[in-house]
Structure 1
Amino acid sequence: MQQPNLVYIKELSAGDLAFEQKFINVLKEEIPLEKEEYLKSVREQNFKRTGDLVHKVKHKLSILGLTEDYKLAVSFEAALNEKDDALKETFSAILDKIDTYCKTL
């Protein structure tokens, strides 16, 4: 199981600690909100909105070094376009993982 990390952010910042912290703060602010919105859209069986949220979050997965989770998000987003939400629990677990990680930053 992959674990989130800051490797990409550190590479992107090239040692600029203020930039790193701004980036981290954005993640800490956005991820819990996106998780909440995702869970709501899943409960409402709003496939379009859920797909939009998966699309939005998948880039954060890449930023956090979660390449396998990113691939799953791509598949899930495509499935949602076909009204197939079979991966919803798996994606929820990914959101839990990154939300928990961001709380440690």
Structure 2
Amino acid sequence: MTEKPNLDYIKEISGGNEEFEKKFLTIIQTEFPKEKNEYVENLEQDNFEESAKIVHKIKHKLGILGLNSGYKLAIKYEEDLKYGDTKLKDEFYEILKSIEEFILKIA
């Protein structure tokens, strides 16, 4: 994956308001690890419908973090999961790992 998470979109919508940026990042840093864990647990239990719901939540964070290709992949993967299709699982997991590493770096 060549795409890397970034703060460009957050900085753009904040208009330079650092407090807004910090609040936004805190929300992502709080929600993302929980959502990732829920996703993994549900996937391991072959609960594809619930996994799709969590991918839906996560995909918005991908867009916010500048992962446009990741966002598009999440859209496709969310739909595939509804039919029990997990072929994009590894690719999606790589995106999740990159976000996890990014969050740790900016903490």
User: What is the TM-score of this pair, normalised by structure 1?
Assistant: 0.97
Aligned residue for 1:101?
102
- Give unpaired runs (5+ residues) of structure 2: none
CA distance in 2, matches of 1:90, 1:50: 15
1:24-80 residue CA offsets vs partner (Å, 9 max, x unmatched): 111111111111111101100001110001000000000000000101000101111
Higher relative contact order, chain-length normalized (CA < 8 Å, sep 6+): 1
Pairwise mapping of residues 65-76 of structure 1 onto structure 2 (< 5 A)? 65-76=66-77
- Residue equivalent to 1:90: 91
Number of residue-to-residue matches in the alignment: 105
Distance between the aligned counterparts of 2:89 and 2:41, measured in 1? Answer: 12
5+ residue gaps, structure 1: none
Secondary structure of the equivalent of 1:72? helix
Identity of aligned residues (%): 43
Structure 1 distance, partners of 2:101, 2:28, is: 12
* CA distance in structure 1 between the partners assigned to 2:80 and 2:49 by the alignment: 11
**TM-score, length of structure 2 as denominator length:** 0.95
Question: Which residue does 1:79 correspond to in 2?
Answer: 80
Name segments (4+ residues, structure 1) moved above 2 Å: none
Q: Give the root-mean-square deviation of aligned CA atoms.
A: 0.7
